[in-house]
Structure 1
């Protein structure tokens, strides 16, 4: 039978066939039916598996079928088991490092990878970093998470999610099998209290908006790039990263617009910011000392201001309890309590993502003209304590 040369299937008996392809290659096939389903199982090429070996393999397959075992599924399970055994040398640390290396190119913020590495190195790896990733179970996951679940709930929640992701990656790569011991729903949520209930959420420390004019009067007297960056951040209601990463290419002084590209925005969407007169004055001052592409240059050449610089400026003012991000809350509270601007205008000024998908689909614009009026009123209030132009005009004329 092994001398057959014409393409086709040649029976040897008992479900064993020699398959000759059109190219002339020959291989052994075991045909069988399981639960009414016709199946074919490859047993190897003729140049590797002899006729007697093929008959032995077919015999073993028939015996499995007699015991109600699908020979193909049994072979898959055996291969998976061998692969799992081979993977025992792959530790959790190796799996985590491989996952981060494979995915960090897609992370917009370079610090994201560093945060992943730091979180896992600090809290997970001491407990099971050197363990085979296949051996990581619920007990080990809890050893890493439980000590900080009530004291650092936000960190613990991120840690759990990152462990879950690494283990999912390891499962897909064939390094482990079974359910993910770090999953929350239907598993760890039965063992740990919800994050929201273990400790009151701590918001960014914010200055009551009524105190803002006096604070801004003090801030404008402060010297240094960090003080000007803080002013700019408050008057534009922008995030720290958006301000310190601002480049001159994003600034249009003639149009009085700051256009932040989508790559630098949290929501991944371009954001135009109307610039009020004080912002223009700050930019003019920065242009006079320009040393790089960054509007607010740092101490190192071709590097922006440090993300700690504005916090340090607050400390020098004796305001260490405040955060830069907290001024966004001051802006939001002021807009809600002191103005009649619609909520969506305020939210868009803060560059928040629209939660309602239907609303987001219909509102394609950026409400720029309305935001221009809002930010102008914010500048007037921050400078004089009055939101309307008529109330503020006299005081503004007296300012230098």
Structure 2
């Protein structure tokens, strides 16, 4: 009797796309170490998917339903749309494995959506971060050193270490080993969700050793009330210096310098920038982060920035 009742409940209960997505997230979130990644999943589903198909039975979803989510943003927000498509596909796959859906996955790209939607690479606008040419970097750094305040010092470290703004603004003393000259950024603070070690140059170590330790804060560059600097703080420094570039652009400046002015291999520069290798085979074979090989490169970069 109990088994028959359970079967009846199962037949009458329809799993919606939203309930499947939330169950999938509950299953998988624990293995996603990057909290930003977890939040991005939820934000994209809530903004671009649930309003269209969230309340639909997961087994009722057809191609027109998926297109209703994607077509409004496919050309205007291509990068986001590509992620949304992939996440719909993943949820539908999960539903199929759980036996909540018997139909084909109508969100798959190859051999399906690629027949009705434009190829993302053909329509996506690539917006490069404005950067300073490497021939002008030494002059900029010399002027930057004359400026006071935590933001100017944070921007200097960003340039010397080729890091991203958020990585510098959130940097903590517990991540830095001044004796070994290594800054280790934990995986949860990295874009790719993987720990990144930085070989600190003599100039970077000198800057760090001169920083004041603010009581009650573990941050290298605390703002007001010991909180991290805002995401606009470093950009504001550059604006006050009347420079038409952005902090992220210094990574491009460094990459151009390596390619044009040095004999360091490109993979060493990519490792310094913590770029994820596109080739999974190459990534599998490259176990080391080449920290010590990178140390001389970062030292040369610091000297170049100081006109030495």
Deviations 1:272-331 (A, max 9, x none): 322223322331343343542222234455x54444443344344444x53333211110
Q: Which of residues 6, 12, 25 is equivalent to 1:86?
A: 12
Q: Does 1:368 align with 2:291?
A: yes
Q: Does 1:230 align with 2:155?
A: yes
Deviation at 1:175, TM superposition (A): 2.3
Q: Choose 1 or 2 for highest CA Rg.
A: 1
In structure 2, stretches of 5+ residues that fail to align are none
In the alignment, what sits opposite 1:71? none
In the alignment, what sits opposite 1:202? 127
Deviation at 1:131, TM superposition (A): 2.0
Deviation at 1:378, TM superposition (A): 0.8
Question: TM-score if structure 1 supplies the norm length?
Answer: 0.67
Deviation at 1:155, TM superposition (A): 0.8
Is the contact between residue 170 and residue 228 of structure 2 (CA under 8 Å) also seen in structure 1? yes
Compared with structure 1, are the counterparts of its residues 322 and 120 closer, same or farther at alpha carbon in structure 2 (3 Å cutoff)?
A: farther
In the alignment, what sits opposite 2:235? 311
Report the number of matched residues: 305
Q: Which of residues 97, 111, 127 is equivalent to 1:172?
A: 97
In the alignment, what sits opposite 1:41? none
Q: Does 1:273 align with 2:198?
A: yes
In the alignment, what sits opposite 1:246? 171
Q: Which of residues 39, 43, 52 is equivalent to 1:118?
A: 43
Higher relative contact order (CA 8 A, sep 6+): 2
In the alignment, what sits opposite 2:75? 150
Q: Does 1:331 align with 2:257?
A: no
Compared with structure 1, are the counterparts of its residues 261 and 143 closer, same or farther at alpha carbon in structure 2 (3 Å cutoff)?
A: closer
In the alignment, what sits opposite 1:61? none
Compared with structure 1, are the counterparts of its residues 105 and 257 closer, same or farther at alpha carbon in structure 2 (3 Å cutoff)?
A: same
Aligned to 1:287, what secondary structure does the other structure show? coil
In the alignment, what sits opposite 1:162? 87
Structure-1 separation of matches of 2:52 and 2:187: 39
1:65-144 aligned within 5 A: 83=10, 85-88=11-14, 90-144=15-69
Is the contact between residue 59 and residue 103 of structure 2 (CA under 8 Å) also seen in structure 1? no
Structure-1 separation of matches of 2:271 and 2:57: 48
In structure 1, stretches of 5+ residues that fail to align are 1-43, 49-78, 385-391, 393-400
Aligned to 1:238, what secondary structure does the other structure show? coil
Structure-2 separation of matches of 1:244 and 1:226: 9
Is the contact between residue 246 and residue 294 of structure 1 (CA under 8 Å) also seen in structure 2? yes
Structure-2 separation of matches of 1:230 and 1:352: 20
* Higher fraction of helix: 2
